[in-house]
Amino acid sequence: MSVVQQSHGEIIRVFTDWKSLYAPKNLIDDEQTASLLVDYVVKNYSGIVSFTALNAAVAALSSQVLKSEQQVAAEAAERAEARMRRDYLDSKKPQGYDPKELSRQATERAASQSTEKLATLNASISREINGYSRGNAFGSVDYIATESGQIELRRVASQHNLKTVAGAEAALEAVRVAKSKLP
């Protein structure tokens, strides 16, 4: 009879490393299996537990230490069904209705839309003002008359609050009316 030539701690370390790195995935994970493997290694490998010795022990004792394909398939199906049930139960849970959060999101959307509309209105006012030009008797642009007309349109626009949507809408309408009255 052979005697184990390694410390108990070293045997556990080798066995643990082998199990995580090299052991077959279908190895039965219990004390009886570990005992069978260590006994085989002690008898056939002079009591030295190594990765090679453990691999040889699994090959020799495969019917006793490995799960059958049916067992592996049944365990996989069981895990899949448990995951499916857990996902189903998760889908039934309330989805976090928070009126304050919804109100905050609605306020942010409204502010964003308001900002976009204000930018569009101010761009329209600028187009109306910069689009004004006045020609002279010779068919070319009269730059002095054009500039004085644009100054008048800017004065009309500045009489309104261009930082609010309502003010910008009023300014746009006033600029259009004033533009139609200019020569």
Q: What per-residue confidence (pLDDT) applies to 29?
A: 82
Is 158 within 8 Å of 111 (Cβ atoms)?
no
Question: Which string of DSSP letters, residue by residue, matches 85-128?
Answer: HHHHHHHHS-----HHHHHHHHHHHHHHHHHHHHHHHHHHHHHH
Residues in the chain where the model's pLDDT stays below 70: 1-4
The tens digit of pLDDT for each residue in 44-65 reads 888 788 888 888 988 888 888 8
Q: What per-residue confidence (pLDDT) applies to 139?
A: 82
pTM across the whole model: 0.44
> What is the distance between the alpha carbons of residues 150 and 130, in angstroms, rounded to a whole number?
7
Torsional sign, CA 33, 34, 38, 44: positive
Q: What per-residue confidence (pLDDT) applies to 3?
A: 63
Q: Element (H or E) spanning 52, and its range? A: helix 51-60
> What is the distance between the alpha carbons of residues 58 and 27, in angstroms, rounded to a whole number?
9
Q: What per-residue confidence (pLDDT) applies to 48?
A: 84
Cα 127 to Cα 20, 54, 154, 163, 177, distances in angstroms: 72, 84, 11, 17, 14
Q: What per-residue confidence (pLDDT) applies to 2?
A: 57
Which pairs count as long-range contacts for 175-178, CB under 8 Å and 24+ apart, including other chains? Answer: 175/125, 175/128, 175/129, 176/128, 178/152, 178/153
Q: Around Cβ 122, how many Cβ atoms within 10 Å? A: 16
Q: What per-residue confidence (pLDDT) applies to 71?
A: 85
Is 52 within 8 Å of 17 (Cβ atoms)?
no
Polymer length in residues for the chain? 183
Torsional sign, CA 75, 80, 86, 89: negative
Q: What per-residue confidence (pLDDT) applies to 178?
A: 93
> Within 13 Å of residue 173, how many CA atoms lie on the same side as its CB?
8
